[in-house]
Amino acid sequence: MPLREIQLTLPNRPGTLARVARILARERINIAALSVDSAMGRGRVRLVVSDPDRATPLLKSAGYEAEVREMLAVRLEDRAGSFLRVLDALERAKINIQSVAILVAREGSQPLVAFSANDLARARRALRKGGFESRTAEQIVSNAELLAVAPSIPSESVALHL
């Protein structure tokens, strides 16, 4: 199953993010990656969770606007400039990146990065041509497997593995 992220648009008020985390914690859905920003009274939250198929309808039924995006994972060399080479390959292919998440999972000693883009099929071809595609990264990474590489946590809490 492909890696997916959930993007929420929330009011920028105290306790809003805590309510989202509480919904997920109550259902024992863990957070593997999180990004939050806000502007003009609205917050945007991106989540990579252990079970997006359960999380999305729960969040929607609680009144949150939720969008799900498929992501592509790539393996990077653990050195300065390696992500820039991936970005350059996507730029040459005229791929627009919509979001990026550094994952807790690794392929051996190499970090894995996931991103969503306007055309994942074209992005995959561009990365394959540039030598960046990692078929094993796609196999290693799934929403549930992201959390399997992290230490055990109490089931009644939401884990933030950043």
pLDDT tens-digit map of 27-50: 988 887 788 888 887 888 988 888
Q: Binning pLDDT at 50, 70 and 90, where does residue 61 land?
A: very high
Of the two residues 160 and 85, the one the predictor is more confident about is 85
Instruction: Identify which of 10, 26, 27, 35 has the alpha carbon closest to the alpha carbon of residue 162.
Output: 35
Q: Which of 1-10, 11-20, 23-32, 111-120 shows the lowest mean pLDDT across its residues?
A: 111-120
Query: Same structural domain for residues 125 and 87?
Result: yes
Q: Is 74 helix (H, G, I), strand (E, B) or coil?
A: strand
- Range 125-144 average pLDDT: 68
CB 101 within 8 A of CB 33: yes
CB atoms within 10 A of CB 123: 24
CB atoms within 10 A of CB 44: 15
Number of domains the chain is built from: 2
Query: Same structural domain for residues 77 and 122?
Result: yes
Distances 52 to 3, 29, 32, 112, 126 between C-alpha atoms, Å: 9, 8, 11, 20, 27
Query: Same structural domain for residues 42 and 87?
Result: no
Rounded to whole angstroms, the Cα distance separating 107 from 104 reads 10
Domain that residue 113 falls in? 72-147
Query: Same structural domain for residues 97 and 143?
Result: yes
Domain boundary among 40, 70, 100: 70
Of the two residues 22 and 98, the one the predictor is more confident about is 22
The whole model's pTM is what?
0.67
